[in-house]
Amino acid sequence: MGKRLKMEIRGAVQGVGFRPFVYRLATGLGLSGWVLNDIRGVFLEVEGDPEQLSAFRERVRAETPPRARIQGLDESWLDPIGYEGFQIRTSEAKGTKTVLILPDIATCQDCLTEILDPENRRYRYPFANCTNCGPRFTIVLDLPYDRPNTTMRGFALCPDCRAEYENPLDRRFHAQPTACSVCGPRLEAWTRTGETLARGDEALTLAAQALRRGDVLACKGLGGFHLMCDARNEAAVGRLRSRKAREDKPFALMVRDLAAARSLAEISPAAATLLESAEAPIVLLPRLGEETVARAVAPGRPELGLMLPATPLHHLLLRAVGAPLVATSGNLSEEPICTDELEALSRLAGMADVFLVHDRPIERHADDSIVRIAAGAPRVLRRARGYAPMPVPVAEELPVILAVGAHIKTAVALGLGGRVFLSQHVGDLETPEAMNAFRRVIADFLRLYEARPALVAHDLHPDYPSTLWAEEWAVEHGIPSFAVQHHHAHLVSCLAENETLGPALGVTWDGTGYGTDGTVWGGEFLRGDAGGFTRFAHLKPFRLPGGEAAVREPRRAALAVLFEVFGDDAFAREELAPVRAFSTNERTLLAQMLENGLNAPVTTSAGRLFDAVAALIGLSQRTRYEGQAAMALEAAADPREDAAWPLPLVPREGAAALLDWEPLLRALLEDLKRGVNAGRLAARFHNSLVDGIARTAEAAGEMRVALTGGCFQNRLLLERAAERLSALGFTVLLHREVPPNDGGISLGQVLVGARHLKHLHGIV
C-alpha cells in the first residue's frame, strides 16, 4: 500500500536548481507526484512505495544542491491519490512573499570550462550561467523567481537553450537567466559619445586592446559599471585617479585566477577559499611587494584588495588582457555605482575612453563586496554583491520594521518575521545621486517583499538626510518613527548577528555618532540590549576645532588633545609635527576656537584619538579618505612590540567612567622625545587601547563583550582585544557577515525599533 508525502521547503531554494534536484530524486526512486515554486518556497508531493518515500525524505535534506539553504521544512503524510509520472508545475503567485531572493553567484567551474572550450556551443559566450551560478538579485523584477520576472524576459530562448531549460537532467533545467550567443544578451563596444565600435566577440577583443594600450574602460558588469585599466600601467592608473577625482584611496584589482592573485599577495588557505567562493568578494590581502603593480594602485598601503572574475565576461576579459586590472566602481568618488549604459555615457564620459556594454538590464545596483580576514574568520566590511539580500536570522519574531541607517556607508534594513533583510551597500548620503539610490533601494525592498512597515527606525542625529527622510515618510504613511542612538544600534547589530539577546557590554568605537547629550560620541562602552542601554564609560572628551572639517585633518585632532592637556602652551610645541603643520595665523585661529568653544564640538571619538596619535607620530597630518590615518597607524604598528602606555579608567560619581588618555598622551610625548621609532609607537598605542578595553570590561562585569563600530575594521585592534578578553574569560561577540562600520547600523535599528514597538503596544 503506497503513501503520499507532502513537503513545504523554505529558504534559499529558488534559482539554485532545487526543482530539478527534486525531479531527479523522485524519478530515480520511482515516485510519482509534482513539485512547484511559489512565493513562499518549494512545494512538493510524492507518492509510492513507503521505503522509497523514506529514502526520498532523507535525501532531500542530505543532498541539497550546492547553493541551496533550507531554513524550514514542514511535511505531512496523506493518502495516495494515484499521480502518474512526476511533473514540474508552473509557479503560483499568491500568498505572502517569504521566499528568499538569492544573491548573484559567481561563475561555476562547469560554466567556466564550457566558455573556454572551443568545441562547446557557449565558447567565449560572456553571459553563460546555469542553476549553480549567474545573476540573481541584480536581475529579479518580481517574485516568484521565474524568467518572465527577471530582466531576461526580453530574450526568447532559442531551440537549443529551450531544450536544456526543459530537460530535468540538464544543468540548465529551469535556469532562469540561461542564454547563449544565439538568443541571449550581446556585447557592444562604444566610443565615449555612444557610437558603436564593435559587436559581440569583436567588442571584447577591442576592449582588451584598449586596456593593453593604457585606456580606461567603462565595463558594464553584474551589478553596475566598473572603471578598469591595466594595473601595471602607471600612466593609466594615474589618469583614472585624476579623472575619478580620487587621490589616494586604494583601488581594487581583478586578477584572472588564484595563481595571478598569488603573484601579487600572500594568499592563506582561508583567503583562497574566500576569493574562489560564490560571493567572490574583494579580499584585502597582504601584498608581496610594492613593485608588482603601478604605485598609484594603492599608494603606501601594505594590503591589496583582490577579487577574481565573477562572470564569464570578466573571465574572458582578464584572459584577453593578460594583466591584473584596476576594477573600481563606475562613479565619481563616493557616488552610487552606475548601472545603465545611457546613464553611464553621461556620468562616466569624462572618465572612460571606451565603453564595453551589453543589453541585459541591471534591475538594481550591487557594488563589489569587501572582506578582510581577521581573528580567524572573514569579516565583511562592505556588504553588497554576493551577500545582499540574504537575511540575517534573528532570535525573535519581528513586526515589519524599516530602518534607514545613518549617514555614511548606508545600507537599509527590513525586519520581517524571524529575519532582517539587509540591503546592498548604498553609500554616503552626501549627493543627490546617493539620496536617489537610497530612496530607490527602500522602494524596491518594500515592493519586493510587499512590506508595510509598522515603524521606521532612524539615527538619533536630527540633521542626517536619512533621519529627515524617515520622519517625513512616517508622517506620510501614518506610522511612528523612532530615533535610535548610533552606538546603541552598533551594539544591538552585533548582538543580533550573534543571535544573542544580551545584555552585553558594547565596546562601540567609531569616528562619530550623535550622543543622547547632543555631543559627538565615538569611544563608548555601552551596557545594554535592544531594550535600552546605559553609558558605562567613554573616552575622556575633548573639543575638536572645526568639527566635521577636522575629519580630514588629523593634525586638528592632535592639537585638540594637546590643548586639552597643556592649554595654550600646546601651540608653542614646535617640536611636534602637527603643531608645525599649522601656520602662526592658523594657530591663533585654532586657539580662539578651542578657548571659547566656538565651532569646536565636544567629542569622545575613538576615531579622532587615532587621528591625533597618527599626527603626533608624524604619519599623517591631512587625509583624503575616511579612516586613512587610522589605517596608516595600524599598518605602521610593529607586531613584535608589546609595551603599552597607561590608559586608566577613572570612575565618577553619578556619571559614566572615563577612560583617561591624558597619561597616554604624556607617555607618548616622552617616547617621541626619546626617539622611539614610529612602528613601536603605533603598536604601543594599540596595546594601550587593548589594556583600556580589558580594564573597562572587568569593571563593567558583563560576561559578554561586543566589539563593534568602524574602529574594529582595524585588524590589530580587533585581534588583540578579542584575544585579551577571551583570555580573561569573557564571551567576545564579533561581526562576520554584517559590517562593524555604519553599513551594519540598520540591523541594530530594526531590533531596537521592534522593542520600542512592543512597548508601545504593551506587549513587553
When CB distances are held under 5 to 8 angstroms depending on the partner's kind, the choice from Fe ion, Zn ion, none that residue 183 binds is: Zn ion
Report residue 169 as a C-alpha cell.
537532467
Sheet with 377-382: strands ordered across? 196-199, 187-191, 354-358, 217-220, 225-230, 325-329, 252-254, 303-307, 282-286, 370-374, 377-382
* Window contacting Zn ion (CB under 5 A); options: 161-169, 222-230, 330-338, 485-493: 161-169
Question: What's phi and psi for 313, nearest 5 deg?
Answer: -55, -45
Residue from 108, 305, 742, 755 binding Fe ion (CB under 5 A): 742
Residue pair 658/603 in contact (Cβ under 8 Å)? The answer is no
* Window contacting Fe ion (CB under 5 A); options: 44-52, 497-505, 507-515, 699-707: 507-515
Q: How many CB atoms lie within 10 A of CB 444?
A: 17
Task: Give whichever of 406 and 647 is closer to Fe ion, judged by the CB atom.
Answer: 406
* Window contacting Fe ion (CB under 5 A); options: 80-88, 102-110, 434-442, 737-745: 737-745
Using CB under 5 A as the criterion, what x/- string covers residues 307-346 for binding Fe ion? ----------------------------------------
Rounded CA gap, 500 and 491, in Å?
A: 11
Task: Give whichever of 35 and 745 is closer to Fe ion, judged by the CB atom.
Answer: 745
At position 686, the amino acid (one-letter code) is H
When CB distances are held under 5 to 8 angstroms depending on the partner's kind, the choice from Fe ion, Zn ion, none that residue 510 binds is: Fe ion
Task: Give whichever of 180 and 414 is closer to Zn ion, judged by the CB atom.
Answer: 180
Task: Give whichever of 35 and 130 is closer to Zn ion, judged by the CB atom.
Answer: 130
Radius of gyration of the chain (CA): 28
180 lies in the binding site for Zn ion (CB under 5 A): yes
Cα–chain center distance at 635: 22
510 lies in the binding site for Fe ion (CB under 5 A): yes
Cα–chain center distance at 246: 21
Using CB under 5 A as the criterion, what x/- string covers residues 94-123 for binding Zn ion? --------------x--x------------
We find the least distance from the C-beta atom of residue 595 to Fe ion, in angstroms, to be 30
Cα–chain center distance at 369: 5
161 lies in the binding site for Zn ion (CB under 5 A): yes
Residue pair 522/605 in contact (Cβ under 8 Å)? The answer is yes
Rounded CA gap, 277 and 287, in Å?
A: 20
Which residue shows C-alpha cell 517569504? 98
Task: Give whichever of 311 and 493 is closer to Fe ion, judged by the CB atom.
Answer: 493
When CB distances are held under 5 to 8 angstroms depending on the partner's kind, the choice from Fe ion, Zn ion, none that residue 132 binds is: Zn ion
When CB distances are held under 5 to 8 angstroms depending on the partner's kind, the choice from Fe ion, Zn ion, none that residue 130 binds is: Zn ion
Of residues 258, 252, 310, the one with CA closest to residue 279: 310
Report residue 289 as a C-alpha cell.
611587494
Q: How many CB atoms lie within 10 A of CB 361?
A: 17
45 lies in the binding site for Fe ion (CB under 5 A): no
Residue from 73, 158, 591, 635 binding Zn ion (CB under 5 A): 158
Question: What's phi and psi for 461, nearest 5 deg?
Answer: -60, 120
Rounded CA gap, 637 and 718, in Å?
A: 14
When CB distances are held under 5 to 8 angstroms depending on the partner's kind, the choice from Zn ion, Fe ion, none that residue 577 binds is: none
We find the least distance from the C-beta atom of residue 711 to Fe ion, in angstroms, to be 9
We find the least distance from the C-beta atom of residue 310 to Zn ion, in angstroms, to be 12
Task: Give whichever of 76 and 113 is closer to Zn ion, judged by the CB atom.
Answer: 113
We find the least distance from the C-beta atom of residue 522 to Fe ion, in angstroms, to be 8
Q: Regarding beta strands 377-382 and 69-78, do their DSSP bridges make them parallel or antiparallel, or are they unpaired? A: unpaired
Sheet with 455-459: strands ordered across? 413-422, 391-403, 455-459, 481-484
User: What three-state secondary structure class fits 604?
Assistant: coil
Binding positions for Zn ion, 181-210, rule CB under 5 A: 182-183
395 lies in the binding site for Zn ion (CB under 5 A): no
Binding positions for Zn ion, 121-140, rule CB under 5 A: 130, 132-133
When CB distances are held under 5 to 8 angstroms depending on the partner's kind, the choice from Zn ion, Fe ion, none that residue 258 binds is: none
Let me know how long the chain is: 764
Task: Give whichever of 564 and 626 is closer to Fe ion, judged by the CB atom.
Answer: 626
310 lies in the binding site for Zn ion (CB under 5 A): no
- Interface ranges with Fe ion (CB under 5 A): 510, 742
- Interface ranges with Zn ion (CB under 5 A): 108, 111, 130, 132-133, 158, 161, 180, 182-183
